[in-house]
A and B are shown apart, each in its own frame.
Chain A
Amino acid sequence: MTLYRNLTIRQKQIVWAWAFLTLPVIFYGVIRFYPTGSAVLISFQDWNLLGERTWIGADNYIQLWNDPVFWKVFKNTFVYLLLGTPVSLVLSFTIAYHLDKLRFLHSFVRMLYFLPFMTSAVAMAWVWRWFYQGVPIGLFNNILAKFGIAQIEFLNSTSYALPAVLAPAVWAGLGFQVIIFMAGIRSIPTSYYEAARIDGVGWWTVLTQITLPLLRPTIVFIVVFSSIGFLRIFDHVFNMTTNNPGGPLNATKPLVLMIYDTAFNSFNMGYATAQTVVLFTILLIVSLIQLRLLRSA
């Protein structure tokens, strides 16, 4: 105790600061950083969860590089990103822009858009999965059949399956993005709009010269947020294709599903963690690029 008493006030403040910080530091160390570090180690080992771990150098990474399924999955992951992010961005902005102008039943409509975000992804994926079935149970195909249009194999197709799986994922995230966009639109000072109106500027110019530029931080946030989401897409794909995970013929398989499959069906933990490290690196690079963009804003 005398040791403590002899400290200066500044030193005592530091001691207290660290005392309060210990809990989160220990938590992050044990729950986040330690597993991350050991995942990197395991990626250089051969381990089936039961036996000994053996060091095999970069074999897992070499296997990954030569695995055609990995490249297919890698491509899929970026298709989810490059299709999902712009589509959800444009949709959510359009909805937010018009919803902002809507007075009648405003909060009710906003709630309708937000509901899917609060719904469990698993339940939603299964409902959409049934929507996509053929007759006699599929909603969409029953409608098509009613008009005498040929059936569309939404999920059992190498070209339609990925967009079909992506659609509910976009829909689910929409509510959140709409809310963020509306907050962004509301935070733009009205004086700009008043000045524009006095000058007699058209709505298009107002949109492109005032609203969009001032929404830039909001847009960057949503892009970062939804990009990470689409790069990590898993639950929608997993639940909509449980019988043929990531199928047909790996057409919908994202990286996270491949990791899951390698780890918990093949019990090839080393190979799975190597994939995880690759995913981690991709996420890191994408986030860093986007943060750089955010800062320059």
Chain B
Amino acid sequence: MARQPGEDAMKWTNKTLFAGLTSAAALLGTSASAVEIEYWQYFFDARVEAMEQLIENFEAANPDVTVNMTHFPYAEYRTKVAASIPAGEGPDVVQLFYGWLNDYIEADLIQPLPAEQFPTEMIEAEFFPMVSAMQVDGDYYALPTAVRSLALFYNTRLFEAAGLDHPPADLDELVEMAGALTERDGAGNVTTVGLTTGMTAQDHHWWREVLVRQFGGEPYAEDNQTVTYDSDAGRAAAAFYEGLSSEHGVTQVGFMDEPQAAFKAGRAGMHIDGSFRIGSLNNTRGLEWAVAELPVGPTGTQSNYSSYWVNAITTKAEGERYEASVRFMEYITSDEAMQIWLDVVGELPARPSVGMTEANATHEVYGPFIRGLEYAHTTVFANESAQRQVLVDMLDRVSLQGQSLSDSLAEAAQAEQAILNEYYAD
């Protein structure tokens, strides 16, 4: 969002107003002197707008603290943050992707949240369970304001045409319905897929954290450092996924280049994607769609994958700036902040107390995503793009080079283990 010319002036008046308030407070002898803290996040219209609201509310409640937000292009994350904090510049509170947590801790850029304001028991009781990935060696280092999860988008127009009146409840029904939705031309080429597939999009999460678990396995060992999907469950999950195209012919990997493009164009009956897709689907004219929870597994297991951006206090924050940062962290992880974030950005609340309210949990679009959070898992990635590539290659070896699925899965598990070993070696 480009800054409006009037905006600075307005901020300035606000600041003078607050300054007035604080000096008045100081006269009454209640409040400490003014503190300024820096908040950094990457640039995305809605996120910046939501954060501006949060800062305004926070400053109103804490007149002695001023929060300055800086935003910058996503691509500059590492360099900017890494260069500024050790130099004593930059953010006191920073937003980062959950997958970067280990790197940030190791580089001494962020500090643990104080146990007094953020006790482990409180976090475990009040946040959705996958947030536990933010605990390292007993300390919580960061907490999300909002989270994302997966759900099944389906094209209601195509469903109606195929005579289907409800979304699939389990994987068998998923295959059956996808079969009814698939269309082919005279030469047998697919022109509408029943279900989009492709490990390059969100399917690698669906396979890893949902399908493997639904077939009775675990993708990784407890310590997140050992790959455990080269198992019967993993093979069953891989066979199910691969069978969607090779056996059942209800999908085609890479159909119309990208799964979300096929769904947007009305050429896909069903599509598994994240809550972040809602916005762009809302803007698609002529597309009628609905959302359902991911289908359950053969034994009724429910699972989901959640990813999120977290906020953390940097090592730069000391003394009164630290105090103010803790208070700011408390506010931006509060129920109120999460509701604002949901309303403005459309990202899901990280606390059940906000997410599972009647209005949110039964919301026709957000509801299935939010309900999915209750049983969602978070993969602790060492290198997300490399680990995704492993699964992409696993299927390519089968479809392009004729390798057997179990050999390919074993090779994938080995390759991913190598990535984890290298990451945790230092």
Task: List residues of chain A with CB under 8 Å of any chain B CB.
Answer: 46, 48-51, 129-130, 133-137, 145, 148, 150-151, 156-158, 243-245, 247-249, 261, 265-267
User: What CA separation (Å) do A51 and B83 show in the bound complex?
Assistant: 10
| B240 at the binding interface (Cβ < 8 Å) | no
User: What CA separation (Å) do A50 and B82 show in the bound complex?
Assistant: 5
B400: chain A residues within 8 A (beta carbon): 156-158, 248-249
| A148 contact from B187, B190, B397, Cβ within 8 A | B187
Whether A265 contacts B78 by the Cβ 8 Å rule is no
Mark contacts of B90-107 with chain A using CB atoms, 8 A cut-off: 1 yes-contact digit, 0 otherwise.
Answer: 000000000000011011
Rank and list the top 8 A-B pairs by shortest CB-CB distance, nearest first: A50-B107, A243-B200, A51-B107, A265-B385, A248-B396, A50-B82, A49-B78, A135-B189
Q: How far does the Cβ of B387 sit from chain A's closest Cβ, in whole Å? A: 11
User: A249 with B191: in contact, given A156-B254, A267-B103 (CB under 8 Å)?
Assistant: no
User: A135 with B191: in contact, given A130-B257, A265-B383 (CB under 8 Å)?
Assistant: yes
User: What CA separation (Å) do A78 and B324 show in the bound complex?
Assistant: 57
Q: How far does the Cβ of A52 sit from chain B's closest Cβ, in whole Å? A: 8
Q: How far does the Cβ of A240 sit from chain B's closest Cβ, in whole Å? A: 10
Mark contacts of B381-395 with chain A using CB atoms, 8 A cut-off: 1 yes-contact digit, 0 otherwise.
Answer: 001011001001100
User: What CA separation (Å) do A51 and B102 show in the bound complex?
Assistant: 11
Interface residues in B215-262 (C-beta closer than 8 Å to A): 252-258
User: What CA separation (Å) do A150 and B189 show in the bound complex?
Assistant: 9
Task: Count A-B pairs with CB separation below 8 Å.
Answer: 80
Task: List residues of chain B with CB under 8 Å of any chain A CB.
Answer: 78-79, 81-82, 103-104, 106-109, 185, 187, 189-191, 198, 200-201, 252-258, 267, 383, 385-386, 389, 392-393, 396-397, 400-401, 426
B393: chain A residues within 8 A (beta carbon): 247-249
| A50 contact from B103, B254, B386, Cβ within 8 A | B103
User: What CA separation (Å) do A266 and B107 show in the bound complex?
Assistant: 16
| B189 contact from A51, A151, A249, Cβ within 8 A | A151
Q: Which residue of A lies closest to B191 (CB)?
A: A136
A136: chain B residues within 8 A (beta carbon): 185, 191, 256, 267
User: What CA separation (Å) do A151 and B383 show in the bound complex?
Assistant: 35
Whether A133 contacts B106 by the Cβ 8 Å rule is no
User: What CA separation (Å) do A129 and B385 show in the bound complex?
Assistant: 21
User: What CA separation (Å) do A266 and B383 show in the bound complex?
Assistant: 6
Q: How far does the Cβ of A140 sit from chain B's closest Cβ, in whole Å? A: 13
User: What CA separation (Å) do A265 and B396 show in the bound complex?
Assistant: 21
| A48 contact from B81, B103, B389, B401, Cβ within 8 A | B103
Whether B267 contacts A244 by the Cβ 8 Å rule is no
| A145 contact from B81, B189, B252, B389, Cβ within 8 A | B189
Q: Which residue of B lies closest to A48 (CB)?
A: B103
Chain A to chain B contacts (Cβ below 8 Å), 22 pairs: A46-B426, A48-B107, A50-B81, A50-B82, A50-B103, A50-B107, A51-B103, A51-B107, A133-B256, A133-B257, A136-B267, A145-B187, A145-B189, A148-B187, A156-B254, A243-B198, A244-B200, A244-B392, A247-B393, A248-B400, A266-B385, A266-B386
User: A49 with B82: in contact, given A136-B267, A243-B198 (CB under 8 Å)?
Assistant: yes
User: What CA separation (Å) do A224 and B401 show in the bound complex?
Assistant: 36
| A247 contact from B258, B385, B392, B401, Cβ within 8 A | B392
User: A145 with B103: in contact, given A247-B392, A249-B401 (CB under 8 Å)?
Assistant: no
A148: chain B residues within 8 A (beta carbon): 187
User: What CA separation (Å) do A51 and B393 show in the bound complex?
Assistant: 31
Q: Which residue of A lies closest to B395 (CB)?
A: A248
A150: chain B residues within 8 A (beta carbon): 187
Q: Which residue of A lies closest to B419 (CB)?
A: A266
User: What CA separation (Å) do A135 and B184 show in the bound complex?
Assistant: 10
User: What CA separation (Å) do A150 and B79 show in the bound complex?
Assistant: 49
Whether A249 contacts B397 by the Cβ 8 Å rule is yes
Q: Which of A50, A133, A145 has the most CB of B within 10 A?
A: A50
B254: chain A residues within 8 A (beta carbon): 156, 243
User: A51 with B106: in contact, given A158-B400, A244-B392 (CB under 8 Å)?
Assistant: yes
Q: How far does the Cβ of B272 sit from chain A's closest Cβ, in whole Å? A: 16
Whether B79 contacts A134 by the Cβ 8 Å rule is no
User: A137 with B104: in contact, given A145-B185, A156-B400, A248-B396 (CB under 8 Å)?
Assistant: no
User: What CA separation (Å) do A266 and B389 show in the bound complex?
Assistant: 12
Q: How far does the Cβ of A234 sit from chain B's closest Cβ, in whole Å? A: 16
User: What CA separation (Å) do A209 and B358 show in the bound complex?
Assistant: 87
Whether A137 contacts B256 by the Cβ 8 Å rule is yes
User: A247 with B107: in contact, given A129-B257, A145-B187, A265-B385 (CB under 8 Å)?
Assistant: no
Whether A249 contacts B79 by the Cβ 8 Å rule is no
Whether A50 contacts B109 by the Cβ 8 Å rule is yes
Q: How far does the Cβ of B101 sit from chain A's closest Cβ, in whole Å? A: 12
Q: Which residue of A lies closest to B385 (CB)?
A: A265
User: What CA separation (Å) do A49 and B107 show in the bound complex?
Assistant: 9
B389: chain A residues within 8 A (beta carbon): 244-245, 247
Q: Which residue of A lies closest to B382 (CB)?
A: A266
Whether A50 contacts B383 by the Cβ 8 Å rule is no
User: What CA separation (Å) do A249 and B252 show in the bound complex?
Assistant: 18
A50: chain B residues within 8 A (beta carbon): 78, 81-82, 103-104, 106-107, 109
B385: chain A residues within 8 A (beta carbon): 261, 265-266
User: A247 with B396: in contact, given A133-B257, A145-B187, A151-B189 (CB under 8 Å)?
Assistant: yes
User: What CA separation (Å) do A156 and B396 show in the bound complex?
Assistant: 9
Q: Which residue of A lies closest to B267 (CB)?
A: A136
Knowing that A137-B257, A243-B201, A248-B396 touch, tell me 9 more A-B residue pairs with CB under 8 angstroms: A49-B78, A50-B104, A50-B109, A135-B190, A136-B185, A145-B187, A150-B187, A247-B389, A266-B386
User: What CA separation (Å) do A108 and B300 show in the bound complex?
Assistant: 67
User: What CA separation (Å) do A64 and B256 show in the bound complex?
Assistant: 36
User: What CA separation (Å) do A273 and B198 show in the bound complex?
Assistant: 32
| B386 contact from A48, A243, A249, A265, Cβ within 8 A | A265
User: What CA separation (Å) do A33 and B320 show in the bound complex?
Assistant: 44
User: What CA separation (Å) do A51 and B85 show in the bound complex?
Assistant: 11
B426: chain A residues within 8 A (beta carbon): 46
A133: chain B residues within 8 A (beta carbon): 256-257
A265: chain B residues within 8 A (beta carbon): 383, 385-386
